[in-house]
Amino acid sequence: MRILLTGGCGFIGSAVIRHLLRSTDHSVVDIDKMTYAASPDALEDAFASPRHTLVRADIADAAAMRAAFATHQPDAVMHLAAETHVDRSIDGPGPFIQTNVVGTYTLLEAAREYWAGLPAGRKERFRFHHVSTDEVFGALQPGDPPFTETTAYDPRSPYSAAKASSDHLVRAWHHTFGLPTMVSNTSNNYGPWQFPEKLIPLVTLNALEGRELPVYGDGSNMRDWIYVEDHAEALVRVLEHGAPGGTYCLSARQPRTNLQVVKAICACLDARLPDPAGPRERLIRFVTDRPGHDFRYEIDPSRSEAALGWKAANDFERGLARTVDWYLAHRSWWEGIRAARYAGQRLGQAAGGKKS
Q: Which contiguous run of DSSP H or E holds residue 118?
A: none
Choose, from 30, 32, 135, 229, the residue flagged as catalytic: 135
- CA 347, 351, 354, 356 torsion: positive or negative? positive
Choose, from 32, 58, 149, 159, the residue flagged as catalytic: 159
Residue type, 290: R
* 86-112 residues labelled b (16+ CB within 10 A) or e (exposed): bbbbeeebeebbebbbbbbbbbbbbbb
Mark whether 159 is an active-site residue: yes
Contact 199, 241 (CB under 8 A): no
Mark whether 218 is an active-site residue: no
Q: Of 257, 266, 268, 258, which Cα lies nearest the Cα of 317?
A: 268
Mark whether 153 is an active-site residue: no
Choose, from 30, 32, 87, 134, the residue flagged as catalytic: 134
Residues written for the chain: 356
Alpha helices of the chain — where are they, by DSSP H? 11-23, 62-72, 86-91, 94-96, 104-116, 120-125, 158-177, 199-208, 228-241, 258-272, 302-308, 316-329, 331-339, 341-346
Active site residues: 134-135, 159
